[in-house]
């Protein structure tokens, strides 16, 4: 299976994955609309159009899908609207792109002659919501999303209703309860479900990869809605201070781009997968405050770090991946720690043009929409 279609192939993950697959001898077709939200320049397009069959098109277009799937063996479906905050008010767009385009892809595959045998979907850790926790009395629990009253009172962590002790976050497994807390998360889970159901009827191999917070050289520095490493970096390089929501102790699982690409290639080259779901992350929780402190150190900046106690609807407190399954079944190993990956990222950022800092305008928009409190 050497003919691979990558939707969103000019994006951060897609660009790096494409280069790897070309090196491995795959023939890659890219379907990407080159959205200005993601692409501040045509640099990636200019590089990719030479080594791939590049279709400038939209995953919401039937004719573009019909053109793109011609002679393909595998579809790696990366194209999506991302970010939790914006999803809470850009509801139709997120639903249309994430769910609608996936349904359209499957409709085209069902009703058109094609040679597609496998689909790999990039999903998100967001589908779990708050993920797995441990309670001293109840054992493993899956808390629902936090309420406004607690957040306003700066009660950010979950407390057991029985023992009144703080719940302890533990690595989230693939078979954990699914409890989306944002429109984005809900669209990604529905995307998974419609794919699994339809693919079974089409007799397709399907693998779903629930990526954690992917970072590294090449990620967008101009999008103020997603990617705190980029947001903080752009703030620092524009001489602005860093604002941290809640108390800064919320954690995320940051996974380096090369590890994400390697995990995706492992799935692509495994011929025994049928309706599989894998976490792709580092398995290491890192606080947002630590991220800001490390960036301040690496950029050698005098920028101040402010704990604002603001909060955003749809955000989670903790969630980090249990990687046991992908390690046992595919032999996946993380090659980059957070610190080594962050150093690479910062060295790359220093060589880029400084992007306009759109953070303040994005915050104003979320406040006006009632998402930021």
CA angle 224, 230, 236 (to 5 degrees): 95
CATH number, domain containing residue 182? 3.40.50.720
Contact 274, 205 (CB under 8 A): yes
Name the nearest CA neighbour of 214 among 68, 350, 11, 9: 11
In a domain, 323, yes or no: yes
Number of domains in the chain: 1
Sheet of 205-211: strand order equals: 53-56, 27-32, 3-7, 74-77, 118-124, 205-211, 276-280
In a domain, 209, yes or no: yes
| Domain containing residue 201 | 3-368
Which secondary-structure segment (H or E) carries 67? helix 62-68
In a domain, 128, yes or no: yes
Alpha helices for 180-280 (secondary structure H): 183-202, 228-237, 257-269
In a domain, 373, yes or no: no
In a domain, 20, yes or no: yes
In a domain, 205, yes or no: yes
DSSP string for 183-202: HHHHHHHHHHHHHHHHHHHH
Which secondary-structure segment (H or E) carries 256? strand 251-256
Each residue's pLDDT tens digit in the chain (373 positions)? 699 999 999 999 999 999 999 999 999 999 999 987 666 667 888 999 999 999 999 999 999 999 999 999 999 999 999 988 899 999 999 999 999 999 999 999 999 999 999 999 999 999 999 999 999 888 999 999 899 999 999 999 999 887 788 999 999 999 999 999 999 999 999 999 999 999 888 999 999 999 999 999 999 888 877 789 999 999 999 999 999 999 999 999 999 999 999 999 999 999 888 899 999 999 999 999 999 999 999 999 999 999 999 998 889 999 899 999 999 999 999 999 999 999 999 999 999 998 888 888 888 888 898 888 8
Taking the model in full, what pTM does it have?
0.95
Contact 96, 60 (CB under 8 A): yes
Contact 235, 241 (CB under 8 A): yes
In a domain, 98, yes or no: yes
In a domain, 194, yes or no: yes
Q: Which two tokens mark 195? A: 């794919």
Contact 173, 322 (CB under 8 A): yes
């Amino acid at each position: 299976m050497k003919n691979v279609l990558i939707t969103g192939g000019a994006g951060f993950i897609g660009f790096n994955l494409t280069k790897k697959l070309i090196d491995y001898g795959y023939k890659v077709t890219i379907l990407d609309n080159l959205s200005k939200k993601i692409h501040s320049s045509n640099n990636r397009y200019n590089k990719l159009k030479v080594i791939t069959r590049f279709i400038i098109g939209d995953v919401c277009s039937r004719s573009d899908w019909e053109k793109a799937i011609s002679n393909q063996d595998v579809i790696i479906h990366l194209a999506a609207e991302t970010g939790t905050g914006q999803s809470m008010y850009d509801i139709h767009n997120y639903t249309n792109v994430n769910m609608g385009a996936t349904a359209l892809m499957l409709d085209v595959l069902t009703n058109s002659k094609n040679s597609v045998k496998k689909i790999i979907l990039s999903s998100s850790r967001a589908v779990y919501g708050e993920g797995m926790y441990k309670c001293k009395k109840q054992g493993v629990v899956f808390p629902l999303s936090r309420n406004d009253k607690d957040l306003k009172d700066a009660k950010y962590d979950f407390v057991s209703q029985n023992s009144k002790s703080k719940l302890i976050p533990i690595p989230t497994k693939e078979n954990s309860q699914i409890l989306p807390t944002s429109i984005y998360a809900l669209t990604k889970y529905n995307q998974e479900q419609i794919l699994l159901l339809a693919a079974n009827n089409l007799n397709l191999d399907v693998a779903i990869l629930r990526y954690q917070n992917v970072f590294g050289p090449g990620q967008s520095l101009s999008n103020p809605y997603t990617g705190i490493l980029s947001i903080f970096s752009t703030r620092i390089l524009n001489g602005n201070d860093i604002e941290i929501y809640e108390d800064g102790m919320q954690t995320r699982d940051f996974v380096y781009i090369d590890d994400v690409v390697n995990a995706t290639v492992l799935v692509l080259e495994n011929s025994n997968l049928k309706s599989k779901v894998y976490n792709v992350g580092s398995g290491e929780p890192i606080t947002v405050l630590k991220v800001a402190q490390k960036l301040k150190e690496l950029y050698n900046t005098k920028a101040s770090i402010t704990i604002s106690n603001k909060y955003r609807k749809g955000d989670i407190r903790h969630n980090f991946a249990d990687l046991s399954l992908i390690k046992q079944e595919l032999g996946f190993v993380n090659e980059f720690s957070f610190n080594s990956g962050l150093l690479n990222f910062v060295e790359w950022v220093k060589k880029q043009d400084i992007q306009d800092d759109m953070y303040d305008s994005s915050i104003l928009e979320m406040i006006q929409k009632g998402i930021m409190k």
